[in-house]
Structure 1
Amino acid sequence: MKKILTMLITIVLISSCKDKDQETNILPEVTQSGKNTGGAIVDGKVWVAKIEAPSSTPGGNSTYYSNTGNKFNLEITLREYNNETSLIKLYVNDVQHISPKTYSISPLPNFEGYYTTSNYIKYDITPSTGGSITITNFDFFKQVVSGTFSFKAENLNGKIINVTDGRFDKKYSQ
């Protein structure tokens, strides 16, 4: 009986460890409470941002909201740390106000794109590619912004990547 109980406990512990390992292989839930999560499908592969404090790493998983004159700006950076470091940057710039709605992604200055350090390649939105970012929640008082995104981006060699099912739920700084 003791041997069976030990085996059951071992199986439970192994399966719980497996679930934690697999969390990096599934997209985070679509939430709207400032959990500092983000992810997308990048060329058919799951890409998950590392959870960290909003401004703990310069250029890390940071989100900023600012007001310049009568124009508002939102910058969302999602960073993945694995065998390589990669990031997705989303911008909503020079709008009357940030609110829950869909914004078109077009070439800079509204979007930077996707960048990977494995081969130091940056993919940008170009006139022939595009996408959208949908703000589903913008809470000025709690400093939370949430939403979804998708886009296509191109590198200098003409290779296009497809980013789909993107989502973020971030606390922002001002």
Structure 2
Amino acid sequence: MKKIIILFTSLLLLSCSNDDNSSSNQIPTGSDSVSLIFDNQEFSTTNKNTSFEKIHVYVSPFDSFIVFMLSNNEKAVEVSISSQVGFEEGKTYAINGRQTSNVSGRLTYYSTNSATKWASTNNEIGGAITIEKLDYEKRIIAATFEFDAAEENGTMHTIRNGWFDLKF
């Protein structure tokens, strides 16, 4: 019985990954690809049911502004991440309100038969962005990110397992 328990435990440990975020395994090439989970619903440019509606990327050594919109048949979500500092490759930055961080996040979203709504990070809630690649010569920025955002009425929204690989 002891051998069975050891075998089972070994198989369990070998099958686990220390990083369940599959998007971080992507190689940044400037492919203009984005994936994220917005309020438990997946949006990805690799999914044929999701379309890329909009993209605007400005990156400099002093500040950055990244906006993209993804939509499917039911919903559209626009994510904005802005920074008042220059990003550096390999670094992680807090996404919060302007009083506690130099990086902030904002969501604009709507679903069929509903009005457009806005939510943003603030001084109490937010998340993080990790710059995986930043190449000024090839003009590529790639990052993983996630954050929470609140509407003015307090309704919370989540972005999880976010990844982008964009040209600027």
TM-score (norm 2): 0.71
Q: Where does 1:32-43 land on structure 2 (aligned, <5 Å)?
A: 32-43=28-39
1:91 paired to 2:82:
yes
Deviation at 1:30, TM superposition (A): 2.8
AA aligned opposite 1:141: E
Q: Does 2:90 correspond to 1:100?
A: yes
Q: How many pairs are equivalent?
A: 136
Counterpart CA distance in 2 for 1:63 and 1:32 is 16
For the aligned residue pairs, the C-alpha RMSD in angstroms reads 2.5
In the alignment, structure 1 segments of 5+ residues that lack a partner are 1-26
- 2:88 alignment partner, SS class: coil
Q: What is residue 108 of structure 2 aligned with on the other side?
A: 115
| Amino acid paired to 2:89 | S
Pair 1:78–1:31, CA change in 2 (3 A): farther
Cα deviation, residue 51, structure 1: 6.7
Q: Secondary structure at the match of 2:133?
A: strand
Letter in 2 for 1:148: T
Query: CA contact under 8 A between 1:28 and 1:48: conserved in structure 2?
Result: no
Is the CA contact (8 Å cut-off) linking 2:105 and 2:149 kept in structure 1?
A: no
Separation of aligned partners in 1, 2:68 and 2:158 = 16
The code of the aligned residue for 1:89 comes to S
Q: Distance in 1 between matches of 2:27 and 2:34?
A: 10
The 4+ residue runs of structure 1 with deviation greater than 4 A are 49-52
Give SS of 1:89's match: strand
Conservation of the 8 A alpha-carbon contact between 1:147 and 1:168:
yes
Identity of aligned residues (%): 22
Q: Which residue of 1 aligns with 2:20?
A: none
Q: Deviations over 1:73-114 (max 9, x none)?
A: 12111211323432011122224x533210111114632411
CA–CA distance in 2 between the matches of 1:74 and 1:45?
A: 27
Tell me how far apart the structure 2 counterparts of residues 28 and 130 of structure 1 sit (CA, whole Å): 20
Letter in 2 for 1:80: L
5+ long unaligned stretches in structure 2 = 1-22
SS of residue in 2 equivalent to 1:147: strand
- Counterpart CA distance in 1 for 2:26 and 2:97 is 26
